[in-house]
Amino acid sequence: MAALTGNDFDAIKAKVQGGAKNWIKVGMSTCGIAAGAGKTYRVLEDELSKQGHPVSLLTCGCLGMCYAEPLVEVCIEGLPRVVYCRVSEECAREIVRGHVMGRKLLQDYILAMHYEEAFS
């Protein structure tokens, strides 16, 4: 791959931001994996393929809410972007069936976060 130069930065940014509109992110750091995020990820993968919905399944690091792992962030066009916590196998399936396919936010699983970003 060619060495990066200053000119490439904007193009990469545009490419990434223009990427998938519908996605699910699973926190896969040590804390998440210890709480079962690996299983959660596999279940999501399985359920998504069963349902055939074109959603990108992504991984990310630790959000800091280690007490609430596994954490799954869901972004579906037209619905608020939310983070689900303590996502069990059943919950993972419900995320695909209820949230992705049924376009309904799940009750009792959302973790709201209150923090300010130091810079944007």
Partner 1 sequence: MSEKTVLLQDTTAGSTTGTSDFFGVFKAALRESDLADNVRLVRVADMGVYNQGVVMTILPENITYANVEAHDIKRIIGVTLKHGNPVKDLLYQPKFRQMRLVLKNCGRLDPGSIDDYIAADGYRALLKAVEQKTPDEVIAELKASGLRGRGGGGYSTGLKWQFTREAAGELKYVICNADEGDPGAYMDRSVLEGNPHSVIEGMLLAGYAIGSSQGFFYIRAEYPLAIERVQKALDQARERGLLGNHILGSDFSMDIEIRLGAGAFVCGEETALIASIEGKRGTPVPRPPYPSVRGLWGMPTCINNVETLANVAPILLHGADWFAGIGTQTSKGTKVFALTGKVRNSGLVEVPMGTTLREIVFDIGGGIASGRAFKAVQTGGPSGGVIPEKYLDTPVDYDNLQKLGSIMGSGGMIVMDECDCMVDIAKFYIKFCVDESCGKCAPCRIGGYQILNILEGITQGRGTLQDLDRLILIARAMKMGSLCGLGQTAANPVISTLAYFEDEYREHIVNRRCPARKCRALLEFNIIRHLCKKCGLCARACPEKAITGDREHGYSIDTEKCIHCGVCFDVCKFSAVERI
**Do 63 and 32 contact (CB within 8 A), yes or no?**
no
Residue 63 burial by CB count (10 A; 0-12/13-18/19+): exposed, middle or buried? buried
| Separation CA 11–CA 17 (nearest Å) | 10
CB 16 → partner 1: shortest distance, Å?
A: 3
Q: 76: left (phi > 0), else alpha (psi -120 to 50), else beta? A: beta
What is the chain's alpha carbon radius of gyration, rounded to the nearest angstrom?
Answer: 16
Among residues 1 and 52, whose Cβ is nearest to partner 1? 1
Decide if residue 102 touches partner 1 (CB under 8 A). Answer: no
Among residues 42 and 60, whose Cβ is nearest to partner 1? 60
Among residues 38 and 93, whose Cβ is nearest to partner 1? 38
> In this chain, which of 52, 77, 80, 90 binds partner 1, going by CB under 8 A?
80
Decide if residue 106 touches partner 1 (CB under 8 A). Answer: yes
| 71: nearest Cα among 28, 107, 113 | 28
CB 47 → partner 1: shortest distance, Å?
A: 21
Decide if residue 67 touches partner 1 (CB under 8 A). Answer: yes
The binding site for partner 1 (CB under 8 A) comprises 1-6, 9, 12-13, 15-17, 27, 29-31, 33, 58-68, 71, 80, 84-86, 104-119
